Structure 1
Amino acid sequence: MTSVPHLLLDTLEGLDSTKLKKFKWHLKNDGIASVADVEKADATDTVELMVARRGQEGAVKITLDILRKMEENHLAEQLQDKHKASVSQTSS
């Protein structure tokens, strides 16, 4: 079973540096993080920030929402599928 932070990290690592910067821009503009929080944050720091602020399920929702805004639908679908599989494994 893969943990939520690992799923999120794998997803963000699928973004190139320009797209990760855009992802962090959405975090900032959606009021989830401050400029100082995301300015020098890498993918790992960004995952930790989202989980700390919104919890694991909230971080997944935020990530899915932002990926869809960025039209990264393939990554969003992959995350959603992996997350559903992970949740169903823990409840089985």
Structure 2
Amino acid sequence: MASAEELLVNSLKELVEAELKEFHWHLINACHKRMSKSEMEKADIFDTVDKMMVCFGPEEAVKITVDILRKMNQNNLSEQLENKHKQGQAEGQMKASVPAEADSQQICSK
């Protein structure tokens, strides 16, 4: 299961330089109280994701990224991110629902 950080990095890697700049513009305008233009001006993908994680946490960072990608008409990319994130959450919930003391033989024999 990929972490939220990995999902965001992989999604932003799909953007060309001009699109990343547009992403930063939307991010600054949507979250101007938490992010300044000077912070984002020279930020690369990794700086962007790190800053979003600190400011918003993983869940909100994914949600904001999906919203911005939609505003940019990057609908396929936003859907992929959203679906992978939901899939990761579902896998995490399934793992959390398995009792810690249960071993694989007990689970497989049911």
Task: Please name the residue that 1:28 is paired with.
Answer: 28
Deviation at 1:36, TM superposition (A): 1.4
2:81 aligned to which of 72, 79, 82:
79
Stretches of structure 2 that go unaligned for 5 or more consecutive residues are 95-110
TM-score normalised according to structure 2 size: 0.81
Residues of 2 paired with 1:55 and 1:29: CA distance?
18
Residues of 2 paired with 1:16 and 1:33: CA distance?
22
1:1-92 equivalences under 5 Å are 1-30=1-30, 31=32, 32-92=34-94
Stretches of structure 1 that go unaligned for 5 or more consecutive residues are none
CA-atom RMSD, angstroms? Answer: 0.7
Higher Cα radius of gyration: 2
- Tell me the secondary structure at the aligned position of residue 26 of structure 2: helix
- How many residue pairs are counted as aligned between the two chains? 92
Compare relative contact order (CA 8 Å, sep 6+) and give the higher one, 1 or 2. 1
The structure 1 segments of at least 4 consecutive aligned residues displaced by more than 4 Å after TM superposition are none
Residues of 1 paired with 2:25 and 2:64: CA distance?
13
Deviation at 1:29, TM superposition (A): 1.2
Name the aligned partner's letter for residue 23 of structure 2: F
TM-score normalised according to structure 1 size: 0.97
